[in-house]
């Protein structure tokens, strides 16, 4: 189905504006907030749980420093690690009530022969600038509705650009879930404005997890909940749309990531179904229906009108590692599978008021789709006590067969004092060997990436590179591991003279 831009933009605006309801509908939210603000709850809790500093608001609009390096920095490891994530969680005396609502900060860790240099700047979105001028929270977010909310006329009005980054065709784009990318200067990190791939697709949602093939071909999706439409993007290596189309999806879920193979696009639709009525936020408009199947959409890359729906047991997957397809038409892909999305619905809300709530653990699974018989199956990769998230691969094998996964993990038998994942590991899909390094309890690691050594064979030599929040020393660390010996610990560490809150995703760009 081709893209009907007018219908899609209208539906996107309706989805973004759905939480702006009469104040009577928000009574419970506001009355609870008036009794004891989330801001006070959080800061009171931080005195007893100092690791909560990982979720505190940034102290400045921008940061700049040269890191102090311990160990021997690899001579060939030069380039820039760009990272993005929610960073401003408070404005005035108001604290956002979901981790995903924080205004985005773009960071650059520049690795040079003269050292490691860090920059961080708040993304100057329309929302950020308007709320700075007003001195208060104005707009409803993903899981937060402030007092006396202002009307939302488009998704990009509340686009915080806080999830990931996309270096492509010389550009650097900051990505959100439901709106346009933000065009960022890769050298200064200044915000240039909203990016459009074409006049026809201006304002059409572009998700935070595009897949880029080794030749630069880019694939992505978006969704408009109120229109029950999925949009699919095919963009060439020069940043020009090849085709953009839509597929009906009713009920609509909240897909966050997807898979691309040599011939197909795969999206998973958990039974977290969108129902606009009587919701106080966009998140609250979604209802988990655990007795329903998770639907799996398989689309022909060359013809978006050709697709199939399959079913799996109810489950939630934030992130997939990679997907590939063999000569017989069998698709294989992996993902961090949870029984439900309670970590998003409850845990990421509770943490914003300093509370820790239990949620189901994500456990890595391998999926198999036979495109001849149109059957699908799944199986776990690890024992039940191993949690996983943030899977990453050698970017050079994106959308084709991969052997290695890098991911964050946790062994339930050795829990940390904080509730987050505390390991980084490398996993060989062929041998089944898992090599993990457990971070000390004083450090909370973020997403780590595989960075290939220049000139090396696919998935062979290279490094695992990632950041961590040290809540005891109030610093941020950039660690480098040998991908063949992760369990040996960092071979080099670059330490910043300040601590930044936990973010989400990043990409490495070689010099």
Write down the domain spans for the chain: 5-510
- Whether 290 shows a pLDDT value over 80: the answer reads yes
Task: Name the pLDDT band for 26 (thresholds 50, 70, 90).
Answer: very low
329's tokens: 């038409």
- Whether 35 shows a pLDDT value over 50: the answer reads no
Tens of pLDDT, residue by residue over 68-102, are 999 999 999 999 999 999 999 999 999 999 999 99
Task: Name the pLDDT band for 6 (thresholds 50, 70, 90).
Answer: low
Report CA 73 to chain centroid distance, whole Å.
Answer: 28
Residue 84: count of CB within 10 angstroms of its CB: 28
Instruction: Give me the mean pLDDT over the 283-297 stretch.
Output: 97
∠ CA 390-398-72, rounded to 5°: 65
Residue 307: count of CB within 10 angstroms of its CB: 17
Tens of pLDDT, residue by residue over 352-410, are 999 999 889 999 999 999 999 999 999 999 999 999 999 999 999 999 999 999 999 99
Contacts with 40 (C-beta within 8 Å, 6 or more apart), sequence order: none
**pTM, rounded to two decimals:** 0.95
Instruction: Give me the mean pLDDT over the 466-493 stretch.
Output: 98
Tens of pLDDT, residue by residue over 168-210, are 999 999 999 999 999 999 999 999 999 999 999 999 999 999 9
Residue 110 in contact with residue 119, Cβ under 8 Å? yes
- Strand 90-91 and strand 434-438: the pairing is unpaired
Residue 427 in contact with residue 405, Cβ under 8 Å? yes
Measured CA to CA, the distance from residue 254 to residue 363 in angstroms comes to 20
Task: Name the pLDDT band for 420 (thresholds 50, 70, 90).
Answer: very high
pLDDT of 5 reads 55
In percent, how much of the chain has pLDDT > 90? Answer: 92
pLDDT of 276 reads 80
Residue 292: count of CB within 10 angstroms of its CB: 15
Instruction: Give me the mean pLDDT over the 245-254 stretch.
Output: 97
Residue 11 in contact with residue 155, Cβ under 8 Å? no
User: For 461, which DSSP code?
Assistant: S
Measured CA to CA, the distance from residue 67 to residue 76 in angstroms comes to 18
**In the predicted model, what is the mean pLDDT of the chain?**
93
- Strand 94-95 and strand 434-438: the pairing is unpaired
pLDDT of 28 reads 38
Residue 222 in contact with residue 205, Cβ under 8 Å? yes
Q: CA torsion, points 271, 272, 274, 279, in degrees to nearest 10?
A: 140
Residue 329 in contact with residue 265, Cβ under 8 Å? no
pLDDT of 3 reads 58
**CATH assignment of 5-510, among 3.40.50.1000, 3.40.50.970, 2.130.10.10, 2.60.40.10:** 2.130.10.10
Measured CA to CA, the distance from residue 128 to residue 133 in angstroms comes to 9
- Whether 10 shows a pLDDT value over 70: the answer reads no
């Amino acid at each position: 189905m081709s893209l009907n831009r007018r219908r899609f933009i209208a539906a996107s605006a309706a989805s973004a504006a759905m939480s702006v309801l009469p104040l009577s509908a928000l009574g419970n939210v506001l009355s609870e907030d008036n009794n004891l603000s989330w801001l006070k709850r959080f800061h009171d809790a931080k005195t007893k749980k100092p690791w909560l500093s990982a979720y505190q608001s940034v102290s400045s609009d921008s940061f700049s420093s040269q890191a102090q390096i311990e160990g021997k920095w690899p001579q060939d490891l030069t380039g820039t690690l760009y990272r993005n994530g929610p960073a401003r969680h408070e404005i005035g005396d108001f604290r956002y009530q979901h981790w995903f609502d924080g205004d985005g900060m773009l960071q650059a860790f520049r690795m040079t022969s003269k050292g490691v240099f860090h920059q961080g700047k708040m993304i100057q979105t329309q929302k950020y600038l308007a709320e700075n001028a007003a001195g208060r929270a104005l707009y409803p977010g993903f899981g937060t509705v402030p007092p006396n909310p202002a009307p939302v006329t488009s998704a990009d009005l509340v686009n915080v650009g806080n999830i990931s980054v996309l270096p492509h065709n010389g550009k650097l784009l900051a990505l959100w879930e439901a709106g346009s990318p933000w065009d960022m200067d890769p050298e200064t990190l200044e915000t240039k404005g909203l990016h459009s791939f074409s006049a026809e697709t201006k304002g059409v949602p572009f998700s935070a997890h595009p897949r880029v093939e080794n030749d630069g071909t880019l694939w992505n999706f978006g969704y408009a909940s109120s229109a029950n439409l999925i949009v699919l993007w095919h963009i060439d290596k020069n940043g020009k749309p090849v085709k953009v189309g839509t597929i009906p999806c009713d009920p609509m879920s909240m897909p966050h990531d997807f898979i691309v193979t040599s011939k197909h696009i795969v999206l998973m639709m958990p039974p977290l179904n969108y129902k606009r009525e009587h919701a106080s936020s966009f998140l609250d408009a979604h209802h988990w229906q655990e007795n329903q199947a998770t639907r799996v959409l398989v689309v022909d890359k060359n013809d978006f009108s050709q697709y199939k729906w399959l079913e799996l047991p109810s489950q939630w997957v934030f992130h997939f590692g990679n997907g590939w397809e063999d000569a017989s038409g069998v698709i294989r892909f992996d993902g961090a599978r949870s029984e439900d999305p309670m970590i998003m619905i409850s845990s990421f809300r509770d943490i914003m008021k300093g509370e820790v709530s239990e949620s189901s653990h994500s456990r890595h699974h391998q999926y198999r789709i036979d495109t001849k018989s149109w059957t699908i199956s799944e199986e776990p990769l690890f024992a039940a006590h191993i949690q996983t998230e943030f899977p990453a691969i050698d970017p050079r094998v994106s959308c084709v067969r991969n052997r290695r996964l890098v991911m964050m993990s946790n062994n339930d038998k050795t829990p940390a004092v904080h509730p987050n994942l505390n390991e980084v590991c490398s996993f060989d899909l062929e041998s089944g060997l898992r090599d993990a390094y457990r971070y000390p309890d004083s450090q909370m690691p973020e997403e780590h990436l595989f960075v290939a050594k220049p000139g090396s064979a696919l998935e062979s030599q290279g490094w695992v590179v990632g950041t961590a929040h040290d809540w005891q020393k109030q610093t941020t660390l950039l660690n480098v591991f040998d991908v063949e010996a992760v369990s040996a610990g960092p071979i080099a560490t670059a330490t910043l003279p300040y601590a930044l809150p936990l973010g989400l995703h990043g990409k490495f760009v070689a010099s």
